Chain A
Amino acid sequence: DAGVIQSPRHEVTEMGQEVTLRCKPISGHNSLFWYRQTMMRGLELLIYFNNNVPIDDSGMPEDRFSAKMPNASFSTLKIQPSEPRDSAVYFCASSSQQGGNQPQHFGDGTRLSIL
């Protein structure tokens, strides 16, 4: 079974550049989550969508961050302009909210380095 697919796996870019991270959730899942992981802060929820609609974006650090989910099978997280402190591993996760408690399933992340 295909899990959550993220691209690119690694991204290295200079500060000030626009960065776009992509995610394809598991087919049939109707909730999608973007997380950021750093050594200092662990896993932080940035935003989550339910049925393609952003429900909670309180974790988005600044206006430089934006996320979209144009359809049930695709989401993007964009940083513009990027800064060195944005360097982290960004994970996308999806879950099915049908039938009660369902765990989130994570992709393998995008390791982002801003120089």
Chain B
Amino acid sequence: GESVGLHLPTLSVQEGDNSIINCAYSNSASDYFIWYKQESGKGPQFIIDIRSNMDKRQGQRVTVLLNKTVKHLSLQIAATQPGDSAVYFCAERRPGTYKYIFGTGTRLKVLA
């Protein structure tokens, strides 16, 4: 079936460096995308979102880029901190629905 980023890669980054987490989504008609952060023992926490009519959105220390041509989403974290260590999920929303499809996520490890 369709899926968003089935693989669960691990990204190790030195503290203070920038992190880039990538996600491939499957439905070219998806109109809204979200990045979530999940720490151990907690639920996914909203980080940033982007609509399909945008290609970039910035938040505090985070930037999301959307490339609809290749159905690719990325999350950039500036000056990565130990507290950023978590699993990061992207999610796409199917148009006309409230249904989101989540990937299996990427584990970010911040090295001191």
Please give the residue numbers on chain A whose beta carbons come within 8 Å of chain B beta carbons, in ascending order: 4, 31, 33, 42-43, 45, 48, 50, 55-56, 91, 93, 95, 97, 101, 103-109
Q: Check B42–A48 contact: CB distance below 8 A.
A: no
Mind listing 20 A-B residue pairs with CB under 8 Å? Answer: A33-B98, A42-B102, A42-B104, A42-B105, A43-B44, A43-B89, A45-B99, A45-B100, A48-B98, A56-B99, A91-B43, A93-B43, A93-B44, A97-B98, A101-B93, A104-B34, A104-B46, A105-B46, A107-B43, A108-B42
Contacts of B44 in A (CB 8 A): 43, 91, 93, 106
**C-alpha gap A107/B44 in the complex (Å):** 8
Contacts of B105 in A (CB 8 A): 42
Interface size on B, residues (CB 8 A): 22
**C-alpha gap A91/B105 in the complex (Å):** 16
Q: What's the least CB distance linking B24 to chain A, in Å?
A: 14
Q: B51 on the interface (CB 8 Å rule)?
A: yes
Which residue in chain A gives the minimum CB-CB distance to B5? A42
For B99, give its contact among A42, A48, A103, A106 (CB under 8 Å). Answer: A48
The 0/1 profile, CB within 8 Å of A marked 1, for residues 72-103 of chain B is: 00000000000000000100010001111011
